[in-house]
Amino acid sequence: MWNTWVTAPVHPRAPAETDAQRALRESAAREAAAARQREAEARARIQREADDRAKRLLVRLLSASQRHEMEQGGSFTVTAPSGNRYRIDPGRAGNVYRLGVDGVWIEKLCIHQEAMVPVWDTMLMQKLLIETAEGAFRSVANITERSGHVVGGRGRLDAQVLDLAEARRQREAA
């Protein structure tokens, strides 16, 4: 009895696939692959369109000198009300640099939204925050000094920080 249990197949063999079944299976696999390819192409097209819209918006909101800078090297400079100057490079994180009087960076700042958005939207958010709420920007940003020393921050921007910045701005205006 033991020999029967040990030598008996665990799963009975499936019947051999017929030519018609194989052709049907292969056809279904080709159709599924083509559908996945069409979906990937549609997602890529939507992403390109979103990137194009975001870049047009950013360029529209840049000053003439910032547009010129961006056309020349991809980056642009923003001056905060405090007088601090920042260079924003293309990128989503770790792309903002506070510049010294000589134009050399003295701090690298990392701040971005939690949601994945086009790079150009991130750069616009960074520009607007520096121009209107530099303190909130710096309180959230991960800041790395040129020496490599890291100074606080969370790096991710959330709605609560924006609400605090807006409340502070309203108090100062009153």
pLDDT given for residue 103 in this prediction: 93
d(CA 11, CA 9): 5
pLDDT given for residue 113 in this prediction: 80
pLDDT given for residue 140 in this prediction: 87
Radius of gyration of the chain, Cα coordinates, nearest whole angstrom: 28
Regarding beta strands 142-145 and 150-151, do their DSSP bridges make them parallel or antiparallel, or are they unpaired? antiparallel
Domain boundaries, the chain: 56-173
**Whether pTM exceeds 0.75:** no
Closest CA to 92 of 108, 111, 66, 70: 111
pLDDT given for residue 147 in this prediction: 86
What residue has token string 């108090």?
171
pLDDT given for residue 116 in this prediction: 84
SS3 content of the chain, % helix, strand, coil (to 5): 55, 15, 30
Encode the chain (174 residues) as per-residue pLDDT tens digits.
555 555 656 666 777 888 888 899 899 999 999 999 999 999 999 999 999 999 999 999 999 999 999 999 999 999 999 999 999 999 988 999 999 999 999 999 998 888 888 999 999 999 999 999 999 899 889 999 988 888 866 655 555 555 555 555 666 676
pLDDT given for residue 58 in this prediction: 97
**Burial grade of 157 (CB within 10 A; 0-12, 13-18, 19 or more):** buried
pLDDT given for residue 28 in this prediction: 92
